[in-house]
């Protein structure tokens, strides 16, 4: 192969696409959208709602209402002396949000309580009311059973489980499994979307060149394998450029948003002066644990290998079709493994060390999505990572050979769209 020719194709492919309006707008709009998303989340986090919900309590036992009032005097109002009809009228006049009648049967016979309300408050209000009612009725039952305060304290105790991860070097480090589970899944989804997006770039680019007959001019001076390699490298360089800009924007916005959000939250009356509480209220992505450099390196490796593995096949499909519509019938062998890997990833996210997750992550067509998900979540043996990379390289060599055979004939074929039978014939030539 003539590497100078490959570089010229790469340069043309890269410069043509990097100057396109679609690329420029996509590169700008993603960080802008992320900034808007951060702004909305921070706004929601620091917003102090002045909406209050008042729930009247008609307590026929005279034992529970006061406990609820002590729990939240702004929400619970003791209307035990008021008839039900008056409470219903107050709800209709919007003087109170709703009311609950507590009877002896609710305590002794485990009968469900009923909230009569205007419909305001939503799920958050209903969940809060349910938790409060459960707590005060449980305390009343314990009191009637003459359980000592010590036993009640034991009953109310909830033992937390704090986990720490022991590294291979013998160091105890904070265990951020939930955070890295989310990171792993996001990385898998990013690679999943990127393979389709940049693979689509190549397919559409080949079809456009065939339609405009540009390919005939290019093929007269460049070998098909050189053209294929340069086109893949050019779009790959485009992907790296775009992702680099997005990552830098993400890190920059995250580093600025965290302090700004904490400053705004500390100015709230209920959090003023309490920075620890303000820190705890931050959205998780504004107070992120450190991401190891090795994870970023593995992400880049599996992204590039996944891109190379599939992009050659996307180029072959583009060469065999005359329009975007014609590619649909040929795409199934490519899209099926990607979709299967995506669905297995949903299992891997929950159980990264299961047999299905381990075996699937070493299958070359699944590895780009599944292995990076496992690496982020759990300790993956280095031999598994090495084997997955080796198998992907071997498979890439095979798909590149296969794609080159199809591409060589397909780029100069016009008329009817090729079938799988035609592709097999081209490979044998």
The torsion angles phi and psi of 134, rounded to 5 degrees, stand at -60, -45
Q: Is residue 236 part of a domain?
A: yes
Q: Is residue 47 part of a domain?
A: no
Least-confidence region, from 38-47, 72-81, 121-130, 338-347: 38-47
Please give the span between the terminal C-alpha atoms of the chain, in angstroms, as a whole number.
20
As a whole-number percent, the residues of the chain with pLDDT over 90 amount to 12
Q: Is residue 242 part of a domain?
A: yes
As a whole-number percent, the residues of the chain with pLDDT over 70 amount to 81
pLDDT at 274: 47
Range 388-400 average pLDDT: 92
Angle value at C-alpha 301, between 297 and 302, nearest 5 degrees: 120
Residue pair 174/164 in contact (Cβ under 8 Å)? The answer is yes
Please tell me whether residues 217 and 348 are part of one structural domain: yes
- When divided into structural domains, the chain yields a total of 2
pLDDT digits (tens, 9 = 90+) for 257-311: 656 655 655 555 544 444 444 444 455 555 566 677 888 889 989 999 999 889 8
Please tell me whether residues 150 and 193 are part of one structural domain: no
Please tell me whether residues 269 and 366 are part of one structural domain: yes
Please tell me whether residues 141 and 283 are part of one structural domain: no
Considering 127, 156, 185, which residue would you say is the last residue of a domain?
156
On the question of pLDDT at 190 being above 70, the answer is yes
Q: Is residue 45 part of a domain?
A: no
pLDDT digits (tens, 9 = 90+) for 162-177: 777 766 666 666 667 7
pLDDT digits (tens, 9 = 90+) for 227-250: 888 888 888 888 889 888 888 887
Please tell me whether residues 415 and 339 are part of one structural domain: yes
Determine the Cα–Cα distance for residues 127 and 133; give it in Å rounded to an integer. Answer: 10
Please tell me whether residues 256 and 390 are part of one structural domain: yes
Q: Is residue 50 part of a domain?
A: no
pLDDT at 184: 83
Question: Which residues, other chains included, contact 133 with Cβ-Cβ below 8 Å and sequence gap of 6+?
Answer: 68, 100, 113
Q: Is residue 48 part of a domain?
A: no
Least-confidence region, from 90-94, 119-123, 146-150, 258-262: 258-262
Q: State how far the alpha carbon of 53 is from the alpha carbons of 69, 91, 121, 123, 172, in Å.
A: 13, 11, 7, 13, 46
- Please count the residues of the chain: 429
Considering 124, 156, 188, which residue would you say is the last residue of a domain?
156
Considering 132, 156, 180, which residue would you say is the last residue of a domain?
156
Angle value at C-alpha 50, between 48 and 56, nearest 5 degrees: 130
DSSP characters over 206-218: HHHHHHTTHHHHH
Range 86-104 average pLDDT: 89
CATH code of the domain covering residue 142: 3.40.190
Please tell me whether residues 281 and 421 are part of one structural domain: yes
Q: Is residue 109 part of a domain?
A: yes
**What count of Cα atoms within 13 Å lies in the side-chain half-sphere of residue 238?**
30
pLDDT digits (tens, 9 = 90+) for 362-373: 999 999 999 999
Q: Which domain holds residue 390?
A: 3-37+172-428
Please tell me whether residues 186 and 66 are part of one structural domain: no
Please tell me whether residues 30 and 59 are part of one structural domain: no
Residue pair 58/102 in contact (Cβ under 8 Å)? The answer is yes
pTM for the whole structure? 0.70
Range 58-74 average pLDDT: 87
pLDDT at 273: 44
pLDDT at 385: 93
**Which of 103, 59, 66, 55 lies closest to 81 in space, CA to CA?**
59
Please tell me whether residues 91 and 239 are part of one structural domain: no
Please tell me whether residues 251 and 128 are part of one structural domain: no
- Give 390's pLDDT tier (boundaries 50, 70, 90): very high
Question: Which residues, other chains included, contact 413 with Cβ-Cβ below 8 Å and sequence gap of 6+?
Answer: 319, 320
Q: Is residue 162 part of a domain?
A: no
Please tell me whether residues 227 and 103 are part of one structural domain: no
């Amino acid at each position: 192969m003539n590497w100078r020719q490959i570089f010229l194709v790469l340069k043309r492919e890269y410069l043509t696409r990097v100057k396109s309006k679609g690329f420029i707008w996509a590169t700008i709009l993603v960080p802008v959208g992320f900034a808007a998303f951060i702004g909305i989340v921070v706004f929601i986090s620091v917003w102090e709602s002045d909406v209050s919900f008042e729930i009247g309590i008609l307590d026929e036992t005279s034992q529970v209402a006061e406990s609820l009032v002590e729990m939240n005097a702004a929400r619970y109002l003791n209307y035990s002396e008021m008839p039900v009809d008056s409470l219903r009228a107050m709800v209709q006049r919007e003087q109170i949000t709703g009311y609950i009648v507590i009877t002896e049967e609710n305590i002794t016979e485990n009968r469900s309580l009923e909230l009569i309300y205007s419909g305001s408050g939503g799920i958050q209000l209903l969940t809060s009311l349910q938790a409060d009612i459960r707590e005060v009725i449980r305390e009343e039952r314990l009191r009637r059973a003459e359980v000592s305060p010590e036993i009640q304290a034991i009953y109310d105790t909830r033992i937390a489980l704090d986990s720490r991860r022991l590294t291979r070097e013998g160091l105890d480090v904070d265990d951020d499994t939930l955070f890295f589970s989310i990171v792993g899944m996001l990385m898998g989804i990013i690679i999943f979307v990127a393979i389709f997006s940049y693979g689509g770039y190549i397919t559409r680019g080949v079809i456009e060149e065939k339609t405009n007959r540009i390919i005939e001019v290019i093929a007269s001076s460049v070998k098909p394998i050189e053209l294929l390699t340069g086109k893949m490298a050019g779009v790959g360089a485009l992907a790296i450029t775009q992702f680099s800009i997005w990552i830098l924007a993400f890190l920059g916005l995250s580093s600025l948003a965290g302090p700004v959000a904490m400053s705004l939250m500390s100015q709230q009356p209920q959090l003023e002066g309490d920075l620890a509480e303000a820190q705890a209220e931050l959205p998780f992505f504004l107070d992120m644990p450190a991401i190891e450099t090795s994870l970023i390196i593995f992400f880049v490796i599996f992204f590039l290998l996944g891109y190379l593995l599939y992009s050659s096949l996307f180029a072959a499909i583009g060469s065999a079709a005359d329009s975007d519509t014609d590619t649909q019938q040929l795409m199934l062998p490519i899209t099926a493994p990607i979709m299967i890997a995506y669905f297995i990833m949903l299992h891997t996210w929950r159980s990264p060390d299961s047999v299905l997750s381990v075996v699937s992550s070493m299958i070359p067509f699944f590895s780009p999505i599944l292995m990076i998900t496992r690496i982020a979540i759990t300790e993956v043996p280095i031999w598994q990572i090495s084997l997955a990379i080796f198998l992907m390289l071997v498979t890439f060599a095979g798909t590149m050979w296969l794609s080159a055979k199809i591409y060589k004939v397909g780029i100069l074929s016009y008329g009817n769209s090729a079938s799988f039978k035609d592709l097999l014939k081209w490979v044998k030539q």
